Structure formats: C-alpha cells, structure tokens
Structure 1
Amino acid sequence: MEDNEKGPQQHAESVPEVGEDAMTSLGPSFPAPAMTEEERQELQEELVKVEEEIQTLSNVLAAKEKLLADIKRKLGITPLNELKQNITKTWQDVTTSTAYRRTSETLSQAGLKATAAFTNVGSAISRKFEDVRNAPTFKSFEEKVETLKTKMTAPASADNPGDQDNGSSTSEPLVNQPDASPTQEMH
C-alpha cells in the first residue's frame, strides 16, 4: 500500500518546473549513476552556465523582436497589412495549385452540363404540355369549357329584366337595383 501512496508524490515531483533541469526532475524517479562528488560539482557548474546562456539568448531574442517591431512600424507595416499580404499570398498559392485547377475545371464542366440538362428538361416539359394541349381529349375538354362559358355569359349580357328575376346569381342586377340586395331582404 505504501507504493500507491508514493506513486502520486513521485509523479508530482517528476514534473519539471521553469528553469529546472531534466536530470534534477528525474533524479528521484531514476537513481543517478554512481559518480564522484567532483563530477557532480562539474555538472552543477555546467548546468548553471547553460541556464545563463539560455537566459542571455532569450534576452537577445526579445531585443531583436523589439527592433523588428520598430523597423516595421517605421516602414508602416502593420499587423493588418501583414495579414492581408499573407492571405493574398496563400490565395495565390491555392489558385495556382494543381488540385484547385482540376477542381475548378471539373466544377465548370459540371455547371455547363447542369445548365444543358435544365434546358433539356425545360424543353421536354414544354413539348409535353404542347402535346397534351394538342391531344383530342384536351381539345374536346377545351370546347366543352368554351361552350359552358358562352352559356353562362350570355344571360348576364342580355338586357332582358325577366331573366334577372329567374334566380341568376350575377352581381350586376344587385348593384343596379339597391332594393334587391341580400341584406335588405333579410330585414
């Protein structure tokens, strides 16, 4: 049971902190090879020296980045301009790529084929409607509708007042004769 209790503690100790060297962080987990005190002292001095060099290089890098930002500011290069240039360059790279050209050509051909297909379908539907309209059954139906229309409009256009009293449902007699309106008849 003690091993389980030590496990999490060892794990917490094995995570290196900022500035801590990997050998020191792994020391408790892995036993260090047998070395003399003198070798250990040399390694510690080398460790300090390397850490100082890293810090110096970080400071130099920060100074160079500041100088770069000052030069860009003096030249009028803003982060937005850089972003626009990067986007433009990326778009040019994409449009000149073989995959983009092939896809573009394929989509263009598909668009042309779709347009042609829609035109053909539209023509076919128009022809089918024309065929139906020219069919004898439709012509017979059309003649019957025309005959019915003629019969229904003939009494409405007649000036014979006797026809109006026969129960025709046209609105013209009602408008011309205010006494015959449905609301007045109900009262």
Structure 2
Amino acid sequence: MEENDQGAQRPDFIPEVGEEAVDAAPCSPCTVLTEQEQAELHSELQKVEDEIQTLSQVLAAKEKQVAEIKRKLGITPLNELKQNLSKGWHDVTTSTAYKKTSETLSQVGQKATTAFSSVGTAITRKLEDVR
C-alpha cells in the first residue's frame, strides 16, 4: 500500500462521532436527496440548532441563578472546596481498602516496635556484659 504524504484520508474512512463524521461521509448514489428532502432536512437542522441555542441560554440563566442563591447563602467557592475535600477524605477513610491498609500498617508498626525493643534490649545486655 502506498502512503500519501499529503495527509488525505482514505475514501472509505468514516469517523464515528462528531461533525467530522458528517463532513467525511462519502456521498453515494443511494443517498441522493430530492429537493423536498433537502428542504425538510435544512428545516429540521435549523430547528435543532435553535433548540440548542435556547437550551444554552436556559443553562446560562440557571447557572446565574445558582450563583446568586449560593451568594445569598454565603457559600463561597472556598467553602465548597473545603466541603468537597472533607467529604472526599471521609469517603476514603471509610472505604474497605483504607481500613484494611490501616490495620495492616498498625500491625506492622506493632511488630516493628517489638523488634526494635528486642534489639535495644539485646544491645543493652551486650553492653552490660562488656563492662
């Protein structure tokens, strides 16, 4: 197969998502539309684009409303961050994995303490024997 240095796509390549899929789709004879079908599709396209615009405006208005309510309640971004961190830490510390890890580390710590104590006792005895 010969590679094309100009970066052109294969004619049978069709991206799966997004506008690129529409732009790259080859036009085959079986998909030729009548003028009426094209007009209907253009009309439908315009309606969907209008709906998207309306929804964007509604979303922006709702975001302003949320910000205003939070401001009135005294909820600041810093407070929200603190709450999120606190909740996240709580979720971590109550997880099974955290509990198991904590128990294991506690046991390891106890064993290490016992081992160091034994080594310290042995060193003390040796030093007493040397005197």
Task: Say yes or no: TM over 0.5.
Answer: yes
- 2:44 pairs with 1:39: no
Question: Which of 94, 97, 114 in structure 2 is aligned with 1:96?
Answer: 94
Q: Matches of 1:4 and 1:21 in 2, distance apart?
A: 21
Structure with greater Cα Rg: 1
Question: How much has 1:132 moved relative to structure 2?
Answer: 2.4
Question: Which of 122, 125, 128 in structure 2 is aligned with 1:124?
Answer: 122
Question: Which of 94, 104, 113 in structure 2 is aligned with 1:106?
Answer: 104
Distance 1:115-1:53 versus aligned 2 partners, 3 A rule = same
- 2:51 pairs with 1:53: yes
How does the TM-score come out when normalised to structure 1?
0.58
1:58-94 Cα deviation digits (max 9, x unpaired): 0000000000000000000000001111111111111
Q: Report the identity percentage.
A: 63
Aligned to 1:30: 26
How does the TM-score come out when normalised to structure 2?
0.81
Aligned to 2:64: 66
Aligned to 2:8: 7
Q: Matches of 1:4 and 1:119 in 2, distance apart?
A: 72
Q: Which runs of 5+ in 2 are unaligned?
A: none
Q: Matches of 2:7 and 2:89 in 1, distance apart?
A: 56
The residue type equivalent to 2:106 in the other structure is S
Equivalent pairs counted in the alignment come to: 121
Q: Matches of 1:66 and 1:114 in 2, distance apart?
A: 57
Runs of 4+ with deviation above 2 angstroms: 3-6, 20-23
The residue type equivalent to 2:124 in the other structure is S
The residue type equivalent to 1:7 in the other structure is A
